[in-house]
Structure 1
């Protein structure tokens, strides 16, 4: 596939550390640059039925943050209900996760928008089935990676191990974002400084805990990002 300047794969140091928030913020920040944007979360678990339609809050946040409205089946090819690890849920719900469908969906989205932000599931090496992991999915998509570091005790080790895994796959780490998970974390700036010294990629921003309504979070989070360093 031809390389594009504004398509990225967003991964994280763990689950529940702000990948969706950062992905949505990236979409809003790129819209501010005049780009048509769309988000993609290829695999989402924990969907609930509302008025006969399955909804997942992460997918809904990406849809709301995008400037392009498109088919939900492209935004999230694998939308599952059980809130657990994807390989477990897929087996329980008899879903066969295939990377070819994910890549095809991404290719269709890139025809509709200037920028596609693809959010991974869980951490970088989460299994999708017995054969493949999220890392395999990232490798198939071959996009530059943006790493979300959940700021809490242990984040330095988690971040550096994830960076090693990304580089080992031959992928380019385009940048990283610090996202405050534990508002009471001791010495957050010192941790950030340690990461900046060790991660050979630009820090794109530090998002604090946001005490704003959910529908405003992506816009507010975008104000903490500096995309001028993305290449």
Structure 2
């Protein structure tokens, strides 16, 4: 069954690119035809640096779809949120182009992991934000979080936003790099799992460690 997951994070430095690459490598190792796509890349003069990170972790090298721009059709030079980067480059964000590229990838692959730019409320144009794109296309979300201080607040806000927009939270990935003190790591894990059991019981809990290994845990 063809599937597109939108990989988002609780903030810019949550570790989305690492997690996207690790999940793609893990699923490919299980026999799934999986590819990654970058929603919008900012701060690059050419090829998406996040796509390069995915391929490095996957161990595939660059794919033909990377070289022709299919896996990241929109790249801006200035390192800012997409709406500002687009304005600085004097360009518009063609969201239809992203969707067309996703559909093209689905002709060859069974799963597309579409990595976002920042979090769910990153602005794209005017008051239209990333979460609007996700909700309109009914894309299930993979939410990347971490045990660092402040992450509970950011995670719950992201989960509440998904619940309010009827967005499926398919997986929550607990990124354990960089390491945090054990009491914070364990306490945050327990709290988030309790919250998910109550409000998002369909979600799967995954963890990625500093060796780029993924493991699954129960809620």
Q: TM-score, normalised by structure 1?
A: 0.82
Distance 1:66 1:79 in 2: 23
Aligned residue in 2 for 1:58? 50
Gap change, CA 1:101 and 1:28, over 3 Å in 2: same
Paired positions, count: 209
Gap change, CA 1:118 and 1:81, over 3 Å in 2: same
Distance 2:187 2:162 in 1: 24
Aligned residue in 1 for 2:155? 159
Aligned residue in 2 for 1:215? none
Q: In structure 1, which of residues 177, 184, 187 is the aligned counterpart of residue 184 of structure 2?
A: 187
Ranges in structure 2 where 5+ consecutive residues have no aligned partner: none
Aligned residue in 2 for 1:103? 99
Does residue 1:145 correspond to 2:141, yes or no? Answer: yes
The DSSP-based 3-state class of the residue aligned with 2:161 is: helix
Deviations 1:26-57 (A, max 9, x none): 11111011111111012011114xxxxx1332
Distance 1:149 1:135 in 2: 17
Gap change, CA 1:114 and 1:69, over 3 Å in 2: farther
* Structure 1 residue 102 displacement after superposition: 1.3
Kindly indicate whether the alpha-carbon contact (under 8 Å) linking 1:99 and 1:140 is maintained by their aligned counterparts in 2.
Answer: no
Aligned residue in 2 for 1:18? 15
Kindly indicate whether the alpha-carbon contact (under 8 Å) linking 1:24 and 1:61 is maintained by their aligned counterparts in 2.
Answer: yes
* Structure 1 residue 88 displacement after superposition: 0.6
Aligned residue in 2 for 1:36? 33
The DSSP-based 3-state class of the residue aligned with 2:124 is: coil
Alignment map for 1:192-231 (pairs within 5 Å) = 192-199=189-196, 200=200, 201-210=202-211, 221=212, 223-226=213-216
Q: In structure 1, which of residues 125, 128, 150 is the aligned counterpart of residue 124 of structure 2?
A: 128
Q: TM-score, normalised by structure 2?
A: 0.86
